[in-house]
Amino acid sequence: MKKLIFLAMFMVACDVGNQAKQPVGDDGALPSTTTDTHHIAKQNIEAEVVIPVSSDPIVYLDYRDDCWHLGQLKIDTELTTITHPSITCFESYHEDDLSPNGEVSLLHTLERGELDDGNEITSIEKYACYFIDIRSGNLSEAHSDSMCSGEWSAESSWVVDEDERYTIAELF
């Protein structure tokens, strides 16, 4: 849809640009508007708007400032907003964030704010990850560092390294 709007705006801009380049008469004046008329052909632009049906259990909306400001979880046919006081926005989502059994997903989040030390205000940003139970919407505690860089095993365990594995129950 954005491409269609951009294309329509571009076509109008080109047409306006062409109108400004009217031929100049021998005396250097623009032609009289009473004798020269310009007709702008209206084009009916029909486009089929396709809304993708996604099987992803998490929907991100309101993208600005390099992150998504609204995360929603699809539970059955309803969308539930994902909220937590520490989550300012969601950084990204990847297919491999969802456990192989489809029960849990990793959320990449940012906490943003300002730090005022009395002399200056400094913007701060802190990364954290959470695990969310896809069926209930329950969030785990916030994690950082190595815990967030793990990956799902084929058995749906969260594996940080060879010696550090977590079952889904242990994540919550």
pLDDT tens, position by position, 90-134: 987 888 999 999 999 999 999 888 888 899 999 888 999 999 999
Cα–Cα distance for residue pair 83/156, rounded to 1 Å: 25
Residue 84 · residue 138 · CB < 8 Å: no
Average pLDDT for 42-50 = 38
Q: pTM score, two decimals? A: 0.62
Structural domain span for residue 117: 58-171
In whole angstroms, give the CA distance from residue 109 to residue 125.
Answer: 10
Q: Is residue 74 part of a domain?
A: yes
Phi, psi of 19 (to 5 degrees): -65, -35
How far apart are the C-alpha atoms of 36 and 90, rounded to whole Å?
A: 57
Residue 76: band (very low, low, confident or very high) from pLDDT cuts 50, 70, 90: confident
Q: What percent of the chain has pLDDT over 90?
A: 42
4 in any annotated domain: no
Residue 49 in any domain: the answer is no
Residue 47 exposed, middle or buried by CB count within 10 Å (0-12, 13-18, 19+):
exposed
Q: How far apart are CA 130 and CA 85, in angstroms?
A: 13
Quote the number of domains for the chain. 1
The answer to whether residue 165 scores a pLDDT higher than 90 is: yes
Q: Is residue 10 part of a domain?
A: no
Q: Is residue 114 part of a domain?
A: yes
pLDDT at 134: 94
CA gap 127, 83 in Å, rounded: 16
Percent pLDDT > 70 in the chain is: 68
Position 92 in a domain: yes
